[in-house]
Structure 1
Amino acid sequence: MNNSTKITKKIPKKLIAIGIFFIVSIVLFHFYNSINLDNNSIQQDNIIMDYTIYPSTIPENQLLRIKEAKELYSRAFDDQIFYTVQDPDELVKFIKHAWQWDKNAMPYYYDLLHWHDLYDENVREDGYISFTEFMKKYRDQLVDDTGKPLVEPVVFKNRDMKSYLWNKFADLKYPKFAYEKGGKFSPCKGNKNEEYLPCTDEQLKESIKYYNYALEGGYHCYEHLTARMLFQQGYHYKNNDFEKINKLTEYRKSLTPEDLKLAIDYTEIMAEHSSIIGILRVTEAYLYGLGREQDLVKAYAWTL
């Protein structure tokens, strides 16, 4: 009886000791984790951002065109299904361009980093590797033409730099970025995102400026440009369901005759490439004598 009594008295003490041990372990675990998180955030905050827009170190005749950059990225990295590296050699080539400030490659490298952050730990399909695995195996191949190791520009360390760079690239008239920025000012949408509202002339002026930059750089954005030139809403349609279309007779009252003619010149280029909007605008131009001498025969001919 005495032995059994001693055992029952000892058991609670052991349980208490074990419980204290686990509690202390949990507290220490969270404490050290919080220190690591704080250190990581401090390191992130301590990154010295360089806001300089550097020219590419790649010869101009070797820089990627917009379409080439997109196609190279698509061959190198799958960002649709598996979010993995699908062709390491192509990715080496792509990163070399992005890290050497090839402006057309840089936006797609930001996309790659975004998908890497979200999906890098996912289970891989056979034949695919994660971006982390890629960097371990192929980092030594990321060199310039002289064999010097390349360094990832600091602008990629902070995702917030992306919008800053895009604005700067647009102002420097890089066509892809100018095209995207042109759409930020107009069309002007209503509260329910249905009917388009009149934009201010200043908003339209900014849109037109950036679409002209894009046009100069080879982007055939005539439909977007003419919509801003012709209509106060900044769009050919009255709503985003494409149910109602603006008539040419509803053109902006502040539009000069010279700009009206130029807008119709652009729509004629569209019409010559079978654009329905372009054909409609040229037909209206001859029908109403807006931007063209009134000519009912030509108006009819453009409808055929």
Structure 2
Amino acid sequence: MNNKVKQSKLKILLAISIIMAIGSYFLYFHHLFKQDRDFGFVDTENITMDYTIYPSTIPENQLLRIKEAEKLYHQAFDDQIFYTVRDPDKLVKFIKHAWQWDKNAMPYYYDLLHWHDFYDENKEEGMMSFTEFMKKYRHQLVDNTGKPLVEPVVFKKPDMNIYLRNKFADLKYPKFAYEKGWEFSPCTGNNNEEYLPCTDEQLKESIKYFTYALEDGYHCYEHLTARMLFQEGYHYKDNDFKKINKLTEYRKSLTPEDLKQAIDYTEIMAEHSSIIGILRVTEAYLYGLGREQDLVKAYAWTL
């Protein structure tokens, strides 16, 4: 009887040991999987989305300009052919900016998160995937005091990319304001060949965002004046650039002050040899729209 009891206890202990071993096995590989996926970032399984737009912790004089951010991103990562890390040191610098809320770097980091999944492990020898990069260089992602950085939770959901772009546009960041301006106009028909009249509200929103972009350094005079002057929101009537709007077809709701402002902008374009700018200033003097009618000046602008 005692032997049977002992055997029974041994079987129970053996079963418990097997269950514990299997549990440890799954926990271990779950940890590895999660580690590969998150690289020690924010836990993707327990996200509480934070919609706050935080100021950057990087000193203002060290923030990247939009062209600098774009250049640094493309120097650091190949998102065209191999989807690999080009320069680890530059990628460390780029990610530091993105993770510290440098607004101009953040959209390109979203691009990186999208494209790095296209990396093929069978590519040429010596290429480094983003996953490999993070395992090797994660410890270098620190702030100026040496404190480890954490990937902002906003990068854990791709939909947040659109949310942030819209918020940055409203905060008058020029690149995002410029992109936002295109959402409202020009207005196209079903065949997408000819432009249709936009509503005044659409043009108002488009003008607002292009003005934001212009005020902060984007030279988008042509796009802005098109929205100010024409109901279609474009200087041309069609996508093939075969039919152009005449200045006499300007928006009837346009005030004299806004008409003059639009011509002021086109004159800046004309002074920089823009054909559209020269045409509009010539028309302005020819028809007396936004300028006092002056046929001599109209002729002079055509020379």
Specify the TM-score bucket, using the shorter chain as the normaliser: 0.7 to 0.9
- Structure 2 counterpart SS, 1:186: coil
Residue pairs, 1:261-272, within 5 angstroms:
261-272=260-271
Between the two proteins, the alignment pairs up a number of residues equal to 265
Give the letter aligned to residue 151 of structure 1: V
CA distance in 1, matches of 2:75, 2:124: 16
- Structure 2 counterpart SS, 1:129: coil
Give the letter aligned to residue 59 of structure 2: P
1:125 positional shift: 3.1
What corresponds to 1:197 in structure 2?
A: 196
CA distance in 1, matches of 2:125, 2:288: 64
Residue pairs, 1:83-122, within 5 angstroms:
83-117=83-117, 119-122=118-121
8 A contact 1:267–1:281 mirrored in 2? yes
CA distance in 2, matches of 1:130, 1:268: 50
Q: Deviations over 1:192-247 (max 9, x none)?
A: 10110000000000000011111111111111100000000000000111111100
Rate the CA distance shift 1:268–1:50 in 2: closer, same or farther, 3 A.
same
Rate the CA distance shift 1:196–1:56 in 2: closer, same or farther, 3 A.
same
Structure 1: give runs of 5+ residues left out of the alignment: 1-31
What corresponds to 2:53 in structure 1?
A: 53
Give the letter aligned to residue 289 of structure 1: G
- Structure 1 counterpart SS, 2:167: helix
1:86 positional shift: 0.5
8 A contact 1:78–1:84 mirrored in 2? yes
What corresponds to 1:12 in structure 2?
A: none
1:44 positional shift: 5.2
Q: Deviations over 1:145-194 (max 9, x none)?
A: 00001000000000011111111111111111111001100001001101
Could you say what the CA RMSD is over the residues aligned between the two structures, in angstroms? 1.7
Residue pairs, 1:61-80, within 5 angstroms:
61-80=61-80
CA distance in 1, matches of 2:53, 2:297: 50
1:123 positional shift: 3.0
Residue pairs, 1:7-22, within 5 angstroms:
none
Runs of 4+ in 1 over 2 A off after TM superposition: 43-46, 120-128
CA distance in 2, matches of 1:123, 1:130: 11
8 A contact 1:178–1:213 mirrored in 2? yes
CA distance in 1, matches of 2:148, 2:78: 26
For normalisation by structure 2, the TM-score amounts to 0.84
Give the letter aligned to residue 198 of structure 1: P
8 A contact 2:285–2:293 mirrored in 1? yes
What corresponds to 1:82 in structure 2?
A: 82
1:121 positional shift: 3.2
CA distance in 1, matches of 2:156, 2:46: 11
Give the letter aligned to residue 259 of structure 2: L
What corresponds to 2:15 in structure 1?
A: none
- Structure 2 counterpart SS, 1:78: coil
CA distance in 1, matches of 2:55, 2:274: 37
- Structure 2 counterpart SS, 1:177: helix
What corresponds to 2:3 in structure 1?
A: none
CA distance in 1, matches of 2:171, 2:105: 16
Are 2:296 and 1:297 equivalent residues in the alignment?
A: yes
What corresponds to 1:17 in structure 2?
A: none
Q: Deviations over 1:225-270 (max 9, x none)?
A: 0000000000000011111110000000000000000000000111
Structure 2: give runs of 5+ residues left out of the alignment: 1-25, 38-42
What corresponds to 2:13 in structure 1?
A: none
